[in-house]
Chains A and B, each alone.
Chain A
């Protein structure tokens, strides 16, 4: 599904990605983890083509993404910080994205699931952080695409919505979709993820299942395993 080959990215003097190699196969949920500033978002944005790497190549579904934009038709992206044009209404935003993508969508069911009906006629600038995140989720899940990229999807969600989100993710997995998630909530990761990709200082430090991670670090739960990972020597 996604091949990342030897990606380097520098922002000014700050080297964020230093030779990342990653292969994501079709189907399944991959959690990209790592401490703050380890380059998770930069990696995701490189796959989306929002960040242009200094070196290296990325291909999605076998095609290089360099000078290509059509591959984004296969991707749904949930950005980390829900920044929307504030003067639009929720309804208008959804209609606009539908108009831009020209794909069949099922937003009504999602709107119902996240109880967004009362907010449809409100402007996005007046919404609370959690509600914005729900709109964000609706936009990311309303199209049927084989690749889902979720950057911190749990931010600001209440427990009921969190359950809905987990259901959505599991449902997407059931439909053989590939899902890339970053999160700092280990409980959430442990519940949904099939595989862990651990980024540290701009490199892939570990890639494998949660079970492998636990045995490698000799820890009983994921949170401690992740915290211990950087101090454990690995050959990954």
Chain B
């Protein structure tokens, strides 16, 4: 598996898009720090960008890489390599290189600005960890979609729809249901609804850590009231891990049964 990972990783590192993605974060980091002049405030702004953008990039890169490396996959399948190693290696190659672009792209400006002397270092680290999780989750989801759809256009469509649903539509539906059912106790419903969306989960997680009650919103407040800050953090991280493992597991399971 490590060899496949190596080749996929190098392949992506050499591609132009990894640099574009890296440079984008680098620029974003510097600009935000200049405009805000404050690490903590920059972290909040970054959160809003990361939570929408990272899943989108993870989805699109994942789906494009899978379809583009079809030939590579076919070549590997005839070699003495385990199937799960092929797909897991490719997946980790994509997720790894995206995570690296994110961590380096944002890390460099913040370190240069004096992150290590600031109190926001834990907030910032949590932001990067969440970003890494979102990359892993959405790349895994997009690989799953690609594996189940031979048709590129269909696969791409489903992947973008998935992102749109989780990033935008889900929140809308959630809010609407809160308004419609406002007469009823909604605590457990909103807790569950947050758990089922990795993007909402990440947002709640970061806001809990930042402890800004004005931004917490309804779910955040319920989360905090229900679990307390620390327990809430642990539960949401556990949920993120579950969100990562399940699609990877399905990826391995499905790949074993597929015909090429």
Contacts and interface: CB of A to CB of B under 8 A. Distances in A.
The 6 A-B pairs of least Cβ separation, nearest first, read: A83-B71, A72-B80, A77-B78, A85-B72, A73-B80, A51-B259
28 contacts: A49-B77, A50-B260, A51-B259, A52-B256, A52-B259, A69-B82, A70-B80, A72-B79, A72-B80, A72-B81, A75-B78, A77-B78, A83-B70, A83-B71, A83-B74, A83-B75, A84-B71, A84-B72, A85-B71, A85-B72, A85-B75, A87-B11, A96-B7, A97-B75, A99-B3, A100-B76, A100-B79, A101-B80
Contacts of A85: 11, 69, 71-72, 75
Nearest to B14: A87
Most buried by A among B15, B257, B258, B260: B260
A71 B80 CA distance: 7
Interface residues of A, number: 25
Contacts, number: 59
Contacts of B80: 69-73, 101
A156 interface: no
B119 to A, nearest CB: 45
A96 B4 CA distance: 10
B16 to A, nearest CB: 11
A79 interface: yes
Contacts of B78: 48, 50, 72, 75, 77, 79
- Does more than half of chain B's interface fall in helix, strand or loop, or is it mixed? helix
B224 interface: no
- Does more than half of chain A's interface fall in helix, strand or loop, or is it mixed? mixed
Interface string A70-108: 111101010100011111000000001101110000000
B203 interface: no
A91 to B, nearest CB: 14
A96 B11 CA distance: 12
Contact of B75 (A11, A75, A84): A84
Contact of A45 (B69, B79, B260): B260
A79 B74 contact: yes
B162 to A, nearest CB: 25
A83 B68 CA distance: 11
B3 A100 contact: yes
